[in-house]
Structure 1
Amino acid sequence: MTVFKNVDAPERFSWPAGKSCAVVVSVLFDDGLDAIARAPDLRNRSKSFSVWEYGARRGVDRLLELFDELALRTSWFVPGLVAQKHADLVRRISSSHEIACRGLAFEDFGVLPAEEHKEILLRSRAIIEDIAGRPADGFRLPQGRWPRHFDQCLVEAGFKWSASLNGDDLPYLHRSSLVEIPVHIELEDRPYFQFNFTPPFPKGLGRIASYDGVLHNWITEFDAYRRYGLCYVLQVRPEMLGTPGRIFILQDLLHHMLDHDDVWLTTGGDLAAWAAQRVSPAPADHPLEVFEAYRREEACDE
């Protein structure tokens, strides 16, 4: 087998207590708001919408049971309206896990007027904090593009970290001092398991992936992240990975991680608090700065 050198890797991070890499297990508990954002008529289509309702009915419990069995703290991203609808469930989650924000109603901040951003963020954060009984410092973009200067808006609304962007595999700082914990689609369950006939999610209706194949992919990625000292962020959903068969994918993956004593299994908040004191703002050649550089070049040409 050919082994490729990681020639472009940044200087190796010094993780806490000499750990080789960091792992954050995150749960996206949208309760169908993500599906309704694509097809609003799902609200009145019980058969199709029940695919997403399964998460709150069964999937959350299976995830919590597994995390409790392994004594693992995780980070849950919850829209404000979902927290209100499932307040008792969110309180139970919060008793052992971190609750972070995912907007109010799964908004697309990229198409909303900038003056509405902060109001929505403040409302959603207040709802989460009132129900969870603790500060909600983290944020995950629900959908759409990242608005220009959105990091500053998040800081003004009281957030300290985000797990929304993809342009790295180590935490970094925005100009506003907001910590960004990068995420990647290959470490998310939706591309493998999201399937619905009508409306077609995803378009084209690709086959549901092999469970063994998904586990192999996630373990392969973890082994590489550990080898190069990076930050592995898994993103799962109760309705997709919380089924009787798929929960074992997560169980086997977590057991593989726990077999290594040099892995820092942590929450987004704890990782962000550690990174805020140790990482630098994104450099000029970082993917985060590409758009800003383009804007400056365009201004010079006018």
Structure 2
Amino acid sequence: MSTPQHQMQQQAAPAPNWQGAPGTSYTSPIPITRTHLGHALASEWTKIKSVRSTMWTLGVFVLLVVGIGFLVAAQTTNEDFADVPYTVPAFFGLILGQICLITLGVLVVSSEYGTGMIRTTFTASPQRYRVLTAKLMIFFVVAFVVSALSIGVVGLITSGMHGGSSDNEWGGTVLMGALYVSLLGVLALAVGSMLRHSAGAITTMLGVVLVPAILPAFLLMSESMRTIGEKMMEYNAPNALARIFQLDSDNGNGSSQLLLLVGVTAAAIAGAYALLEKRDV
């Protein structure tokens, strides 16, 4: 039984010092690791390989490029490849397949805004620029590898069907063709980051690809607009791919069209970074 004096001593006892003695610091038993770009890359790789939209869009892309390429190659003869590379059949599949990469590029970023998961992403990685950089890098690598493999498979199939008798090198068309359609996807990703809306970004990108291919037919009817129509026809996506695959080799190999796309994509990425830091989620 405690006495009143003992109770007063208990009440006067100082509280435990959980912060430690002066001059000492608390050390957490949980290991702390500074985050870096590698963590963001790992996160984005997990996302892009886990969602069904990636498998569907890339699967349709491969089916279009390889399937249409095989059908075109089956309708050609050895003489058809005297002046063009064996990858030419892939061109016809890429005209449609590029829409798949554009769609995937938009969905990589806009789907997170649509579901609200972007808040979780930015909470885990407050450095927003790091998240966008990881998305751009992962998407570009995936798109380029899949595109290059698809075009290369078409080249191998065509070469096997026609005895490999052509002397035209087709390795360059694999790299440049894959780079062109991959950059279109990266451009779509940047547009999706700026608009934050899947339907709006996809519609915008379809306009970027389709309008320059259709509008010149009307602009060429007017003498005052003919120059604009000719330039638009020269640099639109179908004609750029045609030059890359040497279907229009008299007017270049598509390098100027590729450089223009690089510039437009770089400008869109810069805009995406600027808006990412200014706007709330």
Identify the TM-score tier after normalising by the shorter chain: 0.3 to 0.5
Of structures 1 and 2, the one scoring higher in RCO (CA 8 A, sep 6+) is 1
TM-score (norm. length: structure 1): 0.31
Whichever of the two has the greater Rg, that structure is 2
| TM value normalised by structure 2 | 0.33
